[in-house]
Structure 1
Amino acid sequence: MVWRGYSAAAAAVAAAVALTVVTGCGSGDGTDVASIVGDFASAIGDQDVEAASGLTTAPEPAAESLGATFAGMGAKTVETTVNKPIEYSDGTASFTMKTTWVWPGQGTFETDTSGTARELSSGWKVQWEPGLVYPDMPAGSRLQKVRTDATPAPTVDSRTGKVFMKMEPVNEIVFDPKAAGRKSDAAITSLAHAIEPIAPLITAPVIRKKVDEAGGRPVTAVVLRDPDMKMLAADPEKITGVTVDHAGKLVMDDRRLSSPLEDGLTNYWTAVRDATAGWQVQLVTPGSKPRRLAHEQGPPAKDIPTTVDQNEQLVLGDSVVDVAQPATMMTFDASTGGILAMAQNDEAARRKVAAGTSYATGSALDPVFGAIDRATRGDSGSADDMLYHFGLGVKFTAPGVSLPRGTAIRPKVSSAQFKPNDYQASMLNMGALGVALARASAGETGAVAPYIIKGATTKVTGGALGQFTPEVARDVLQTMTQVAKTGDASDLTGAPGLRALVGTNGPQGPGWFVGLHNGKVLVIYCEGDKSGTAALQVAQKYFTVSKR
């Protein structure tokens, strides 16, 4: 048995459309030993369980063993080579076979095995034994390739270097309605009671809804950390249809925090782990610990630095909870565009409000459009370009930030035909606008793209960020100051020096608040009736909580 790292030779094997099988000089008519052994090796190369097992003296156990190994190894291609069998006078023959399992981009695993063939009344057959798969392999065993990850797992760190998210053992409490059968309703009630001390919001109706939406398939009722399991009212595994799966998951280091940013950061973290993952080939025998046969493992991945501010995340979480309708809030560093935090209430989470999804802006951007119209004197092309320079009308793809599903509408504006309810922007767009205006007030004239992973570049499509006209920025900033002093945001307290844009898209919203304050850009998005008032309510709670 030989393991080899991935090489140019292996790449050539992986790229081949068909596998090459070198066999003895058989007649090809299926009646001589060389032909049968060659066909067997060819079937192994094709990972054809039925064909390979049918050429053996024991098709059923051969099919079981080969099927388990093919599934466990998951090789892209398999190459087999056999030597010409040596026949003996007692109607038997011996042969050797080399099998190479290939995983493109990862490596190869080779085995050298020996076997025998017997001439029966029906013709030559390969004498089945597990040792054809791996030398001295016990009956009932299989080969398998498993992923390995270097330890320790990387952490996702905040802007100050503190751990924001880390991998931790978790317990996935899974309910299978089919396993519960007629006791399904009673089991759901019992499960809800068991987890109530730690997960009171996961009620029986909530679990039933999950089951209905899953079409009767198993559902994860809740994911709990190890300490949480000690606080349950009853052991979930004693409930019919409930199992507890143990796994590792990236979770918030501070249990008080939750954020829509978790999904995007987890996806980025997973990609980093995938890039540094290794693998191991094991011999698995029932009742015994898997035996490592070969492995390849790289070094641990580096921790992931982000722009997230943990204290800011906690403040945002407190700011959105009191609003009854969907409310989402993001804050950005006003000089760099780094995302500091993002939070939303349960209603917004159910609506799947996302940072990169475009929503109607209504009257919120009227001061921006008015300033651009005056500067471009009705030239729609120039107006579009100026919008792009401020971060509007473009799409941001920021590593670590989840992308919205579907295609966002790319807005256009014409000073002659523009209607507020025709324009759409994402919270990232609004954040980029706020950062551009804040930078303009500090003497900078170039927009920057929002980002969350330090050192990663945000892709900008649909237009180009660039230098914007200082006069336009001053015009908008002046209006924002008036809005905060005497306009719709004038009732807000505890925010000296605030500059704001406030607006809605009609009575049913959505409503927006974009504020510049204390070196930060605040973006609040609310939906439903009186959403503009709701956005101001979130802003006021933010300014109040920030001072605590």
Structure 2
Amino acid sequence: MIDRVRTEPRALFAAVLSLTLIVVGCSSDKPDQPAKIAQQFVTALNNDDGNAAAALTSDPAKAADAIGKMYDGLGKDVKFDVKSTEESGAVELAAQWTLGQGEAAKRWSYTTRGKASDSGQGWRIDWDPAILVAGLTEGHTVRFLPTHSTPARVLDRAGQELMTEQVVTLVNVAPSADAAAVAPLLAQIDPAVTPASLSADIAAGQGNPVTALILREQDLAKVEAPLSALPGVTLAKQTRLLTTDRTLTSPTFSGVTELWQEAQDAAAGWSVEVVADDGTATKLVGEDAKPTPDLTTTLDLGLQQAAEAAVAPLQQQAAIVAIRPSTGGILAVAQSASADAQGPIALTGLYPPGSTFKTVTVSAALQAGGLTPDTVLPCPGSANIEGRTIPNDENFDLGQVPLHTAFARSCNTTMGRLAVGLPPNGLQKAAEQFGLGVDYVTPGLVTVTGTVPVADTPAARVESGIGQGSVTASPFGMALVAATIAHGSLQAPMFVDGRRGTGNRTPSPLPANITDQLSTMMRETVTAGTATILNDIPDLRGKTGTAEHENGAAHGWFVGIEGDLAFAVFVADAGSSTPALEAAGRFLRNVQPLIPR
């Protein structure tokens, strides 16, 4: 009796304790469920797994459809977080969207509210589209739209229109298309398109459609109907910044297009719209686009057209770069068709500058002292200088002549002797005073001026002194040299009005008398030296150059100054400076009224 009475309370206590634990366990587990299901839901959304997120709701089919349409309309660059949950099942989420791409991307943040409950088959988010975007209801979805004000134009320095945003049509050709049927239609617009070239483009697409041609509106009308009827051909419209005059072309246009696009993106507005099934849309949130001012460049339309016409007849790679010395503004940059195929050689191509570099050599020698333009120096037909035999062109021999004559007649032997007497960094320092070897960051323009290494040996200085060896320059770099002589000091280049380039170093200034002396010698080059075929052009100053290289005939150069215009002409593999002189003549004789004075 005693034992039985003493054990019953223990059994009762154990039963009560067990029941208490069960009750406590159930009640302590319930508050965690809204937080757990909410966290699982946002994790799936953040992993771009719409189906997994939908499966955690009370209506997976509707949820999957709504989440998919949300991704279609807004993208997938979003981060959802659980902001708070309550024991009642109330859930609050926070969303942070990045809408659009790159620099033009917009940020949008908001919070939503919903409810989690036990469906009998586990905890679920009670499906309501408002859990994704506040205010969203069944039968509606959302979309992001960038908005723009009237597109800016690209203008020349006088306000003439160079480029505008235009509608173009992309002719996209699938691998299944018949190239023999498509090519003749496209050849009506671009004769370079042939069945063979189109077949090669299709093959290069590796099974993907390729864009065979981009058509302006006036060209589309000629071929739209027959192209649309061909299997495997689709026409897609886009807007692009294009030259107003379709014949106008310049390597500067790619840089200005990037600058234009940056300005358009920075000024763009945006909106998120709620869209009903019938297509009606209501703005939910957004920001209006800002006005975009026209982009005024330093280019001169007339000079640009003349420069293009001057190099167009040349089969070789050729370029003209023109600069306004008083401002550093780029007036024209033109290339021949074969140069265009190689890239922007006018701005970044590096070549030995040949005798045009003698402007630098004479400047360095004059600054070193003990020498004037009237100093008489030997100009033999050839000379052995530091073990290197230096000949003049066709071994012409002038005997003893003043420095200005040796410069005008382009005596290699004279210049080689002068270069030997300079310090190892003498030519490098002198070149930098003209901008050659200085790297500029110029808005809208990518350029390389050239390289003039330190010449540690006398033999290296001989080569450098006549623009050979390790010395290189771009047509842009040599135009900058001419502009510096014309202005009397180095002006940083400028392509967009008011936005001057910045150099990676600040060279020492040129003495005023040096540029004056060089200008006088360059005038003699035209009147009595190697550029006399241009002697009919008033007050033209210049320097010719022929540059040997390993891969073909010598390159031809001419740098010139007339009024407030400085320029460089380059013709690859020309054999002499004559093709460059002829191109300069075509350019200058067509632009006399346009030259800034």
Q: Could you state the TM-score of these two structures normalised by the residue count of structure 2?
A: 0.75
Contact in 1 for aligned 2:308/2:334 (Cα 8 Å): yes
- Give the direction of change, closer, same or farther, for the CA distance of 1:65–1:299 in structure 2 (3 Å limit): same
Contact in 2 for aligned 1:27/1:34 (Cα 8 Å): no
- Give the direction of change, closer, same or farther, for the CA distance of 1:531–1:207 in structure 2 (3 Å limit): farther
- Give the direction of change, closer, same or farther, for the CA distance of 1:508–1:53 in structure 2 (3 Å limit): farther
Q: Deviations over 1:61-99 (max 9, x none)?
A: 64454355346244454344343263xxxxxxx634343
Q: Deviations over 1:423-460 (max 9, x none)?
A: 112233212111111113xxxxx210121101112021
Distance 1:531 1:280 in 2: 61
Q: Determine which structure has the larger helix proportion and give its number.
A: 2
Distance 1:176 1:545 in 2: 47
- Give the direction of change, closer, same or farther, for the CA distance of 1:30–1:63 in structure 2 (3 Å limit): farther
Distance 2:34 2:248 in 1: 69
Q: Say if 2:40 is the partner of 1:39.
A: yes
Q: Say if 2:366 is the partner of 1:364.
A: no
Q: Say if 2:216 is the partner of 1:168.
A: no
Distance 2:540 2:206 in 1: 50
Helix, strand or coil at the partner of 2:291: coil
- Give the direction of change, closer, same or farther, for the CA distance of 1:428–1:409 in structure 2 (3 Å limit): closer
Distance 2:225 2:97 in 1: 48
Question: Which residue does the alignment assign to 2:438?
Answer: 394
Question: Which residue does the alignment assign to 1:473?
Answer: 515
Distance 2:542 2:41 in 1: 76
Counterparts of residues 500-539 of structure 1 (less than 5 Å): 500-506=542-548, 508-530=553-575, 532-539=577-584
Helix, strand or coil at the partner of 1:372: helix
Question: Which residue does the alignment assign to 2:86?
Answer: 84
Question: Which residue does the alignment assign to 1:52?
Answer: 53
Please point out which of 455, 460, 465 is paired with 2:498. Answer: 455
Q: Deviations over 1:95-147 (max 9, x none)?
A: 343433244984424253435544233x22234454432344345x6433332
Q: Say if 2:474 is the partner of 1:426.
A: yes
Gaps of 5+ in 1: 1-24, 87-93, 441-445
Contact in 1 for aligned 2:34/2:91 (Cα 8 Å): no
Distance 1:57 1:318 in 2: 72
1:341 to partner: Cα distance: 1.4
Helix, strand or coil at the partner of 1:256: coil
Contact in 1 for aligned 2:81/2:95 (Cα 8 Å): yes
1:494 to partner: Cα distance: 4.4
Contact in 2 for aligned 1:74/1:145 (Cα 8 Å): no
Question: Which residue does the alignment assign to 1:146?
Answer: 145
Helix, strand or coil at the partner of 2:279: coil
- Give the direction of change, closer, same or farther, for the CA distance of 1:480–1:189 in structure 2 (3 Å limit): farther
Question: Which residue does the alignment assign to 2:243?
Answer: 252
- Give the direction of change, closer, same or farther, for the CA distance of 1:505–1:78 in structure 2 (3 Å limit): farther
Contact in 2 for aligned 1:193/1:233 (Cα 8 Å): no
Question: Which residue does the alignment assign to 1:242?
Answer: 233
538-547 or 271-280, larger mean C-alpha shift: 538-547
Distance 2:204 2:556 in 1: 31
Helix, strand or coil at the partner of 1:514: strand
Q: Say if 2:438 is the partner of 1:438.
A: no
Contact in 2 for aligned 1:493/1:540 (Cα 8 Å): no
1:161 to partner: Cα distance: 1.8
Question: Which residue does the alignment assign to 1:91?
Answer: none
Contact in 2 for aligned 1:173/1:242 (Cα 8 Å): yes
Question: Which residue does the alignment assign to 2:223?
Answer: 232
Greater Rg over alpha carbons, structure: 2
Gaps of 5+ in 2: 1-25, 100-104, 369-420
Instruction: Read off the aligned partner of 2:38 and give its amino acid letter.
Output: V
Distance 2:564 2:29 in 1: 80
Q: Could you state the TM-score of these two structures normalised by the residue count of structure 1?
A: 0.81
Instruction: Read off the aligned partner of 2:120 and give its amino acid letter.
Output: L
Instruction: Read off the aligned partner of 2:493 and give its amino acid letter.
Output: P
Number of equivalences: 498
Contact in 1 for aligned 2:183/2:193 (Cα 8 Å): yes
Helix, strand or coil at the partner of 1:525: strand
Distance 1:28 1:388 in 2: 77
Contact in 2 for aligned 1:428/1:450 (Cα 8 Å): no
Helix, strand or coil at the partner of 1:153: coil
Q: Say if 2:547 is the partner of 1:541.
A: no
Q: Say if 2:455 is the partner of 1:411.
A: no
96-105 or 375-384, larger mean C-alpha shift: 96-105
Helix, strand or coil at the partner of 1:539: helix
Instruction: Read off the aligned partner of 2:54 and give its amino acid letter.
Output: S
Helix, strand or coil at the partner of 1:279: strand
Distance 1:498 1:170 in 2: 44
Distance 1:471 1:319 in 2: 34
RMSD: 3.2
Helix, strand or coil at the partner of 1:146: strand
Contact in 2 for aligned 1:115/1:127 (Cα 8 Å): yes
